Structure 1
Amino acid sequence: MDPVRTARDLVTARFPGARAAILGGSANTVRRTPFSDLDIVVFLDGPPAPYRETTEHEGLPVEWFCHTTDSYAEFVEWETANRRSPLLHMCGEGVVLLDRNGSGHRTREDALARLSAGPPPLSRAELEDRRYGLTGQLDDLAGADDPDELLFIADRLLITVAELILVAGGRWRSHGKWLLRRLREAEPEISRRLLRGYRQVVCQGEPALLQQVATGVLDDLGGRLHPGYRRAASR
């Protein structure tokens, strides 16, 4: 199956009035697998957009991200503030399938520029919040005496450290496999040691290396934070 041709045919059949459409995700990359779905961003003139829907084509999931120009801009602003923007990555790294008025290529170029600029930097308070959270998780790791609890603590710690490395370094965070891919790109050596430490917890019940790597990351960003931490209550 040619993912670009298939996606273009699906867009033409389902959204004959679409202004533009972009195929994102892994489907048209070297990372494509037999299970890679088609992630398609479609730009419409108005309702029913914005909405997201999953359909199927020949046994393959198709993820539709339908937007107007305004809703796309609103979602991108919200995602950017959260330092994780699937829309920017789909559009900036994707393939333009349909472009009736030039907006598809303009959207792709703008998304690429925004991705290159990176997410907003961490504020001092945000960095302190993350240091505080990681400090507590390291204490949990050090005090774990239940091997099952240790697995859950290590899992959470792995994600926390990976995200902290990315956002503190001015890079986009992500979830799942994309979190690992971005961590490897940003810090390949730390990524290797972090994963090795996590595997030692899972396979051997040994947390020493994971603790060492996480502590090193924390120390580079100001160190442990417990006494002196204070935040006003919020709902």
Structure 2
Amino acid sequence: MQPIEAANEFWKKYFPDCQGAILAGSVVRGEATETSDLDIIIFDNVMSSSYRESLVDFEWPIELFVHNLTSYKEYFEKDCQRARPTLPRMVAEGIILKGEKTISPIKKEAWELLNGGPSKWTAETIRIKRYFLTDALDDFRGSTNREEELFIANTLAELASEFVLRINSQWIGSSKWVVRSLKQYDESFANRFVNAFDHFYQTGEKKKIIQLVEDILQPYGGTLFAGFSLGKEKG
């Protein structure tokens, strides 16, 4: 079955009386691969609480997200607090399968959250993030153990991407959404970011990553070690 056909058959089979259904994810964005699944969001007021379930039906792997007409708000809020708007993005980008009048206001709410961006970092948060990014950079710079360097580089990629995106009031992501989020922010910078880490993984040469991280930190005071404290009482 085609994705929309399978998704429609799914809600009719399992949630025939639901108030609304959405098909979201890579099949909607035109980014599906051989291993892609169907992300289906169900809004059903019979449900007292939200849940998530993975299953296979209609020859598709399906990721199911079930909410009632109020429970989704808590997930919207939590996703926005962690700056990873998973559910708002799915709802906003998804195709309404059932319940146009019910779901349209929820989609509008999701779009407003996405367009508003995450909350701005405080000066103290920036200072803390600078320190931990510096710490990882120093470990990377000083390491002579290839096995350890690989995983330090992974940590640097995560911390550096988070820093750039949050400083610029952008949503962050994990896994494949790291590079997607960077490209949504600045494709040229994303290409430099990917190139620096790809170059290291292929050659073991660190200079591009080191320069990248230093350039990221420079406008905000550069690397930070001496004078940093956390939790120290002022006397």
* TM, length-normalised to structure 1: 0.93
Tell me the CA shift for residue 48 of structure 1: 5.3
Instruction: Give the corresponding residue for 1:76.
Output: 76
- How far apart, CA to CA, are the structure 2 residues paired with 1:176 and 1:201? 18
Matched residue type, 1:209: K
State the distance in 1 between where 2:220 and 2:68 align. 40
1:53 paired with 2:61, answer: no
SS in 1 for 2:181: helix
What secondary structure, in the 3-state scheme, does the structure 2 residue paired with 1:47 have?
A: coil
Greater CA drift, 208-217 or 177-186: 177-186
1:1-57 Cα offsets, whole Å, 9 max, x none, are 421221121011111121111111111222112221111111111435311000112
Give 2:166's aligned residue. 167
Give the TM-score taking structure 2 as reference length.
0.93
For residue 145 of structure 2, what is the aligned residue in structure 1?
146
Hey, what does 2:65 align to over in structure 1? 65
CA contact (8 A) 2:41 2:64 kept: yes
**Total equivalences in the alignment:** 232
Unaligned segments of structure 1, at least 5 residues? none
Letter in 2 for 1:18: C
Contact persistence 1:83–1:119 (CA under 8 A): yes
Per-residue Cα deviation, 1:52-97 (whole angstroms, up to 9, x for no partner): 0001124421011111122110111111111111100000111111
| 1:40 equivalenced with 2:40 (yes/no) | yes
Question: What's the CA shift for 1:147?
Answer: 1.0
CA distance in 2 between counterparts of 1:33 and 1:139 reads 38
Q: CA-atom RMSD, angstroms?
A: 1.5
Q: 1:3 is aligned with what amino acid?
A: P
Superposition deviation, residue 158 in structure 1:
1.2
Within 5 Å, give how 1:1-235 maps onto structure 2. 1-47=1-47, 49-99=49-99, 102-232=101-231
How far has the Cα of 1:177 moved from its partner?
1.1
2:181 & 2:108 partners in 1: Cα distance? 21
Is contact 2:48–2:68 with CA below 8 Å preserved after alignment? no
